Amino acid sequence: MSDVHVTEALATLPAPEVLSQRRQRLVAVIVACALFMQNLDGTVISTALPAMARAFHADPVHMNVALTAYLFAISVFIPASGWMADRFGTRNVFRIAIAVFTLGSVLCGRADTLGFLVAARIVQGAGGAMMLPVGRLVLLRSVPKDRLIGAMAWVTMPALVGPVIGPPVGGFIVTYFSWNWIFDINVPIGVLGFTLVSLYVADRREADPGPFDLAGLVLSGLALAGFMAALELAGRNLVPGWAVLGLGLLCCAASVAYARRASRQARPLLDFSLMRFPTFAVSVIAGSLFRVGIGAIPFLLPMMLQLGFGRSAVQSGMITFASAAGAIGMKPATQWILRRFGFRVTLAANGLAAAAVLASYAAFRPGWPVAALYAVLLLGGMMRSLQFTAFNAIAYADVPAARMSAATTLYAALQQVSLTVGIPIGAGVLQLARGAGGHAGPATGDFALAFLVVAGISALASPASLLLPRGAGREMSGEMGRA
């Protein structure tokens, strides 16, 4: 695509309501806080499952369904988010998403059986499915494109910080209070978020969003949920192999059926024709490769520190928090780096460096000084923050205004899948290495191999980023003025 066409496409981005710079930052922080609540809740529950199992008199192994039910609900409902935002307005849908998520949190905190908890987690997932794509849409319709990078940096941090601090926060609450509190802490945040969205977020909608494709929602939900369920169950010996294979076949059949239906729809729920825009396609492909490796970190790193190094849950949490500090610390420099080097060079170079830092986790040993662990994790957090912010911004550089809600929906769905893929890949490599070594439990070398594999997958994002057109996103980064 030529620079002229890029500029013309950029001109078709949503014309945001004229807001002061302070108001734009406020909107970005509001969206980030809502997404942080969602990301924190998605991981804080993991350390509370044993205590909840005792309260429900249930098998701890079966408690995993509380995690998967949430992920499945997100997979099913994300495709509907774009149409709902166009039909009912971004502010209304974002408020409803926060309210539904908060209601689900209240129900989770009141659960007295595993079945009740699963049902409440599905309610939470329905709200969470709307938060990410609609939250991004709120930003795209509120912030000018030359300030979008700074706004996206706020939205990136919850995805990096939440999974890192979730487990230690959950462990602290369960140890000193009650497992119910891990859900109850969402209530005041949800009430505050609902109020701030009502006061400060403008309501934008499309004049004619078209009819709702219910059959498309069912097919896309079966495809996404089937894929994630097959990955979640593969190698865990929780169900027979034929059941996992059946889920995989169901996913494939639903995907083919949805593709055929979408090709006949003027406005499909998941619009893969958006992949014709080079910046969107590269962000999806390269970003997905990068996220596969990064998605394994919240699973592998705390487990290595606790099982491999003998650290306590609190000690592990304090060490892994360095990644979150790095993500926060990178925010002020993100705009300058992209202005200086542009999206193409930044994503290729920083992606390779971030993968190298991730691979260096394989060298971690129990005898390493804590300061050295902090330094490496801090650097990794900074690089991942820069990479995610750049991917999240460049994805929408060439997307026309009329298709922006479809773009945020598709991007959120594929992002959720790629982050989920990293966990079973990391767990599978860990299990294979453990079996090959004949270890009763995971050894340090087993974790090292797992980190090298997921880092290798993330490194593939670097050459994929070079497929971006030269000068892509210049108007966003400010590079156009220098050129």
Q: 345: how many CB neighbours lie within 10 A of its CB?
A: 16
Q: Residue 56 contacts by C-beta under 8 Å, 6 or more apart in sequence? A: 111, 112, 113, 114, 117
Sign of CA dihedral 143, 195, 84, 108: positive
Confidence class of residue 146 from pLDDT cuts 50, 70 and 90? low
CA distances in angstroms from 228 to 214, 413, 414, 420, 458, listed in the order given: 21, 12, 11, 7, 20
Give me the half-sphere count of Cα atoms (radius 13 Å) on the Cβ side of residue 380.
29
Instruction: For residues 279-304, give the mean pLDDT.
Output: 87
Confidence class of residue 170 from pLDDT cuts 50, 70 and 90? confident
- pLDDT tens, position by position, 417-469: 887 777 778 877 887 888 787 777 777 888 889 899 999 999 999 999 999 98
Least confidently predicted of 42-46, 104-108, 130-134, 459-463: 42-46
Model pLDDT, residue 480: 47
Give the domain ranges of the chain.
3-213+265-482, 216-264
Confidence class of residue 63 from pLDDT cuts 50, 70 and 90? low
Residue 182: what residue type?
A: I
Nearest 5°: phi and psi at 166?
-60, -55
Q: What is the CATH number of domain 3-213+265-482?
A: 1.20.1250.20
- pLDDT tens, position by position, 393-426: 898 888 887 788 888 888 888 888 887 777 778 8
Considering only CA atoms, which of 317, 392, 353, 357 is closest in space to residue 165?
Answer: 317
User: Is it the case that residue 160 has pLDDT exceeding 80?
Assistant: no
Confidence class of residue 16 from pLDDT cuts 50, 70 and 90? very low
Q: 333: how many CB neighbours lie within 10 A of its CB?
A: 14
Confidence class of residue 11 from pLDDT cuts 50, 70 and 90? very low
Least confidently predicted of 9-13, 15-19, 212-216, 409-413: 9-13
Residue position matching structure tokens 């602290």? 172
Model pLDDT, residue 136: 77
Higher model confidence: residue 136 or residue 462? 462
Least confidently predicted of 132-136, 249-253, 255-259: 132-136
Higher model confidence: residue 131 or residue 162? 131
441: its two tokens? 């439990």
296: its two tokens? 């394994």
Model pLDDT, residue 8: 39
Model pLDDT, residue 301: 83
Considering only CA atoms, which of 136, 126, 81 is closest in space to residue 102?
Answer: 126
Considering only CA atoms, which of 130, 167, 202 is closest in space to residue 408?
Answer: 130
User: Is it the case that residue 391 has pLDDT exceeding 80?
Assistant: yes
Distance of alpha carbon 303 from alpha carbon 363, whole angstroms: 15
Instruction: For residues 297-303, give the mean pLDDT.
Output: 79
Distance of alpha carbon 240 from alpha carbon 246, whole angstroms: 10
Structure letter (DSSP) for residue 269: S
| Inter-residue contact 161 to 43 (CB < 8 Å) | no
